[in-house]
Structure 1
């Protein structure tokens, strides 16, 4: 099977001003959407007081976004293939603004969670944007543009933490959400628009009628998918939740195979190149998020522990920020390697870089510059892996299924990050020891998580190599 994606329907050359504007608008929109994942993290410990709710409930300010994103991402991709990718992308941006304003006006738990869930529903912007690029751009520009778009996911996540920490330390917490609404309304660089990202999308992109496959959304399938994520109540023990999860997942898969127009075409995802890429995406997502869990904690733990650096949240966020910039800088290199050697090679190179980074981090974790260096290395590795995945997906599916296939691949990355969060949490909790009356995770616990991250990266190398 060819590594190169098929010729897009777009007619703009790789250096036309319009092509540059399309790439700038879509990439900036992706960065803004991915910022929402980390935007609220600095204020989570403070939310119980202003929202008059226990900490266990206010944690849903993060969870609601992740769950909504898990449900919305494959749905918006499929709906984009049916009714137009541009239309669904604009609808996603509207939900992002609506969610930001709702959270900004909230003084109680319910509207805050509703606002954060609306923000999560905008997560389909990145896979939709990659699909739009396939329609809009000439083949010569497509590789570097999709690599840049994929990198925007990491850029937004890396820049979100320091930006949110800076805002939270100097302004009222509501300002976080007003600023996020303003980011969507601000003109993206190079777009030539004063009406913000949504306005630039509206005027800068063609109606996007090509490569639709028609049909109607499988609402029962959407219900199955949502039940898979949300229907397992916290009142049940983990073993019972796991059994229910398997049952619901099998029921959903059976439904998708029976219906004429499935929400997610499992036959398409079973194609070897798509399946391998999705499996590698889970491993890469695990490896990427393991870094985000370990490094900030090591930076902020007290120096008295012997391995913590005692930095502030802002410093920890700034230490992570260079990784996003390296991801962006790596995008053209990733595209060039994919063009020369194929995107599978690019994916494998990126996975090896990430694995090497974890090996370095196990021995380099005592100075601030160690962590800056390590985050830059993993930024390069993630830039290679994320840049190669859309090319692998688009090389294996018809243009009419690009949105759904890319959305499912993004969902696989989210599964990897969620798994990393759960596994790392269990490991750190089980190995927590007492330091002067305060329970803190030991250095060995972090090293175990780092070793698992290295293993996940090596798995991402081995799977496509088969």
Structure 2
């Protein structure tokens, strides 16, 4: 292939007149969309144990209902972010609601495993709503409203997950399980209508073409990476399939990186991603993803284990959800406070503080897992830290990339967090599988297993704080300030 000329240092932007923006309505609608997207993750938790009977399949096969959404979310998020930069973030927000609606309807009508997995794949495609919403805010909101808006939409991930548990459990216990998915379809349709009426199109877009080769390469690499991590416990960590996919992931992602560096219009601009502020922030995001998911897996299990074990709290699924729900409320309350801290001291400080608060929550668990009230407090402290951290990360990313790259950069950051949570789920699963106690012929996670996992979460949170403290930032930079685009090398493609 012939050598091409490099893009000019300045991105070729397509600018339209600034739209009339009702800031409060835009933030509320995008936060609502984020909550709905995150609800799709927690929606099926009350049904996990029932799916084998409902769908006439094995427990191992039924786990694909969770795994399929996880994989598709990871693949679709960076793609939707780049498409938002190219063709408009409002347009992509509306497009993302379509698979949320259709996927929910397919799940509601499913009578066997394959349609259910297809519906869950479609729901995963719609997860790009959250990073797209954060990127749209940078284009639409005045600087003084941007920090609080980003913080609220970032925290919508935790809010939706926390509030989704009691809602899903209550519906499951008192109505047909299909009501969950019909409700999800209706809420997704409502989100689409609200976006249509209240969210204007972003006035800034980048030039160029969509990188189909990069999208296919990244998707294949992520599937080869995340699939064995998610299913390694079932397949065996030393099995040929697990090791083969991990090796394939390394090879494919290396080739993908080479392509992205050599192509004119990359899916992910790795030169921008390699900038110290962006690179270290993404590294902290992976580690924070590792930390945050441990408590989300541990505390609900502990609440529901029988009291006869001596450490279980004997709560029903609905009661467990209600005990966990205040943590979502705390995220909603704390996110604007985190934005104010970022405005005064910078998002780097907020990220460090958030990681330290998470470490405090995990550390408290050593003494506070003996009652439902204590577990709720631990959960709230962890989620306060998470709200601070999640609100700061997009601000750091957007403070280090040009305006034309916000969708792609935010989506890549969301991907980094997803990788961290996937690895965390695997690590927690391995620890709890190794540290068990016999209860009536069943192997249940032991009390020491819970404490060990929470202490590991504490250590990882402190590691995230240390990495965040090393983020190099220009004093006073905010997400609203423009950043010079990366230079293109003009290296031939192929």
User: Same fold by TM-score, threshold 0.5 exceeded?
Assistant: yes
Q: Are 1:410 and 2:414 an aligned pair?
A: yes
Q: CA deviation at 1:282?
A: 1.2
Q: Say whether 1:309 aligns with 2:303.
A: no
The Cα shift of 1:434 comes to 1.6
Does residue 184 of structure 2 align to residue 180 of structure 1? yes
Q: Residues of 1 paired with 2:188 and 2:441: CA distance?
A: 46
Cα distance per residue 1:422-444 (max 9 Å; x no partner): 00001111112322322111111
- Residue 80 of structure 1 contacts residue 403 of structure 1 at CA under 8 Å; is this kept in 2? yes
1:9 and 1:137 in contact (8 A); partners too: no
Question: Do 1:10 and 1:137's aligned partners in 2 also have CA atoms closer than 8 Å?
Answer: no
Give the Å deviation of 1:11: 6.3
Count of matched residue positions in the alignment of Structure 1 and Structure 2: 445
Deviation at 1:56, TM superposition (A): 1.3
Retained in 2: the 8 A contact 1:93–1:198?
A: yes
* Deviation, structure 1 residue 242: 2.2
Of 367, 371, 391, which aligns to 1:367?
A: 371
Q: In 1, Cα distance between the equivalents of 2:192 and 2:441?
A: 52
Q: Which residue of 1 aligns with 2:333?
A: 329
Q: How does 1:9-408 map to 2 (within 5 A)?
A: 18-185=22-189, 196-208=190-202, 210-231=203-224, 236-408=240-412
- In the alignment, the residues of structure 2 paired with residue 353 and residue 10 of structure 1 have an alpha-carbon distance, to the nearest angstrom, of 43
After TM superposition, the structure 1 stretch with the greater mean CA deviation from structure 2, 221-230 or 318-327, is 221-230
Distance in 2 (CA, whole Å) between partners of 1:12 and 1:328 is 28
Deviation above 4 Å: which 4+ runs of structure 1?
8-13, 231-235
1:317-337 deviation digits (Å, cap 9, x = unpaired) = 111111111111111110111
| Counterpart secondary structure, 1:212 | strand
SS of residue in 2 equivalent to 1:362:
coil
* Whole-Å separation in 2 of the counterparts to 1:261 and 1:9: 22
Cα separation, 2, equivalents of 1:394 and 1:246: 28
> Matched residues in 2 for 1:157 and 1:50: separation?
23
Superimposed CA distance per residue, residues 94-118 of structure 1 (whole angstroms, 9 cap, x where no aligned partner): 1100110111111111111111100
User: Contact conserved, 1:11 with 1:138, CA < 8 A, in 2?
Assistant: no
Answer with 23-32 or 250-259: which moved more: 250-259
Q: Name the counterpart of 2:482.
A: none
Which residue in 2 is equivalent to 1:438? 442
Q: Which deviates more, 166-175 or 47-56?
A: 47-56
In structure 2, do the counterparts of structure 1 residues 9 and 364 end up closer, same or farther at CA, with 3 Å as the change threshold? Answer: farther
Work out whether residues 131 and 407 of structure 2, in 8 Å CA contact, stay in contact via their aligned partners in 1. yes
Indicate the SS of the match to 2:438. strand
> 1:229 and 1:172 mapped to 2: Cα distance?
35
For residue 240 of structure 1, report the CA deviation from its aligned partner.
Answer: 2.8
Q: Partner of 1:421 in structure 2?
A: 425
Could you state the TM-score of these two structures normalised by the residue count of structure 2?
A: 0.87
Greater displacement, 245-254 / 382-391: 245-254
1:400-424 superposed Cα distances (whole Å, 9 cap, x missing partner): 0000000011111111111110000
8 Å CA contact 1:73, 1:123 repeated in 2: yes
Other structure's SS at 1:45 match: coil
Contact 2:19 2:200 in 1 (8 A): no
Contact 1:12 1:19 in 2 (8 A): no
8 A Cα contact 1:301 1:309, kept in partner: yes
Q: Is the 8 A contact 1:432 1:440 kept in 2?
A: yes
Q: Is the 8 A contact 1:11 1:137 kept in 2?
A: no
Shift of 1:367: 1.0
Whether contact under 8 Å (2:19, 2:201) holds in the other structure is: no
